[in-house]
């Protein structure tokens, strides 16, 4: 049985020094290797000119395409391989297209029982007169939920990459330039008059497209894009100072989170009841009425909020890097 070492004996062993080095508590080379502070080198003009000539000579020898054989062979091989790859890609695409079914054939895979179910029983099962909306927000609502989250994640990425740093004081020139206050519209009468006339109808039309998505052409994506375009026109006419009175970064975060949470909870309930064959208590309503189609109207509103906020946020971040 080995004898237990005392603290003084253990501190003299190699394992103790190795453990100190691994833990970073002591550098084994400290006070052992001769160390001198680095001197600041001030290069004269002759040395700078000599270094510039040496660098230019290296570039001329390496990138001299007329006399460099390696570069010549590399370019030739690169061109040949590029042509061969393009030919191979074209042949593969043509081969894949040749195997597609004949256009208009009733036996095509596209004409299966899924599309027949959408067309024949879509109105009965979803309550939406617009078959496309019923398919997107009922039969395939899980895909639409993923698309809405993709928009939200894309906005977060743009916020991370393009947001300006607010380390400057509010009264400094740097702060004003960072917040784009110097680029606000200066009493552009024509643009502001046109915006006063067009922005309210644009917003109202976007709301109409969202609310009527289950009754006709439209929906959350198209209506949200219309509202986002109206917000962009308003900020171009009246500037960020007036727009931020009712739409800020905090407003966008609350709206997007609430819309995505409402969408997720609503469709989770729908998925659960449908997967477990439980009767849903949400009525479909009378087809053709504004309050119909079950959850589709609510989901359209949620998608429209996310799309409108995302469009405006993208523009604001690319314009000045923040609200």
For 64-106, write each residue's pLDDT tens digit: 666 777 777 888 899 999 999 999 999 999 999 888 877 777 7
What is the reported pTM?
0.62
| pLDDT digit string, tens, across residues 138-157 | 888 888 888 888 888 888 88
Cα(84)–Cα(42) distance, rounded to whole angstroms?
Answer: 54
Distances (CA, A) of 158 to 151, 153, 199, 314, 317: 11, 9, 26, 7, 7
What backbone torsions phi and psi does residue 26 show, to the nearest 5 degrees?
A: -150, 135
The conformation of residue 99, written as its DSSP 8-state character, comes to T
* Beta carbons of 280 and 270 less than 8 angstroms apart: yes
3-state secondary structure of 185: coil
CB 206 within 8 A of CB 231: no
Per-residue pLDDT of the chain (323 residues; tens, 9 = 90+): 456 777 777 777 877 777 776 766 666 666 666 666 777 777 788 888 888 888 887 777 766 666 777 777 888 899 999 999 999 999 999 999 888 877 777 777 766 778 788 888 888 888 888 888 888 888 888 888 888 888 888 888 888 887 765 554 555 545 544 454 455 556 678 888 999 999 999 999 999 999 998 888 888 999 999 999 999 999 888 888 888 888 888 898 899 889 989 988 888 888 788 777 787 788 888 888 888 888 889 999 999 999 999 999 888 888 877 76
Strands annotated E in the chain: none
311, 220 in Cβ contact below 8 A? no
pLDDT of residue 177: 46
pLDDT for res 34: 64
Output DSSP code: residue 104.
T
Reference 139, options 3, 18, 300, 296; nearest CA is 296
pLDDT of amino acid 227: 96
Residue 29, both tokens: 């080379």
């Amino acid at each position: 049985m080995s004898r237990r070492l005392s603290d003084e004996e253990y501190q003299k062993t190699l394992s103790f020094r190795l453990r100190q080095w691994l833990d970073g508590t002591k550098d084994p080379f400290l006070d052992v290797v001769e160390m001198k502070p680095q001197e600041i080198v001030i290069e004269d003009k002759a040395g700078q000119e000599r270094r510039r000539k040496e660098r230019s000579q290296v570039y001329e020898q390496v990138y001299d395409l007329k006399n460099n054989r390696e570069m010549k062979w590399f370019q030739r091989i690169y061109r040949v391989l590029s042509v061969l790859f393009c030919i191979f890609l074209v042949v593969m695409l043509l081969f894949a297209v040749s195997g597609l079914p004949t256009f208009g054939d009733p036996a095509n895979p596209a004409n299966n029982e899924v599309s027949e179910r959408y067309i024949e029983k879509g109105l009965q099962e979803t309550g939406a007169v617009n078959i496309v909306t019923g398919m997107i927000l009922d039969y395939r609502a899980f895909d639409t939920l993923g698309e809405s989250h993709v928009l939200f994640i894309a906005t977060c990425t743009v916020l991370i990459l393009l947001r300006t740093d607010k380390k400057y004081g509010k009264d400094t020139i740097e702060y004003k330039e960072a917040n784009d206050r110097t680029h606000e519209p200066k009493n552009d009468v024509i643009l502001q008059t046109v915006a006063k006339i067009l922005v309210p109808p644009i917003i109202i039309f976007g709301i109409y497209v969202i609310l009527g998505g289950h009754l006709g052409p439209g929906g959350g994506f198209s209506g949200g894009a219309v509202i986002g375009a109206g917000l962009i026109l308003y900020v171009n006419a009246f500037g960020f100072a007036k727009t931020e009175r009712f739409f800020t970064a905090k407003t966008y975060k609350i709206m997007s989170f609430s819309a995505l949470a409402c969408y997720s909870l609503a469709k989770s309930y729908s998925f659960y009841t449908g997967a477990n064959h439980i009767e849903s208590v949400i009525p479909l309503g009378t087809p053709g009425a504004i309050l119909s189609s079950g959850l589709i109207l609510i989901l359209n509103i949620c998608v429209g909020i996310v799309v409108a906020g995302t469009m405006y946020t993208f523009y604001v971040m690319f314009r000045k890097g923040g609200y």
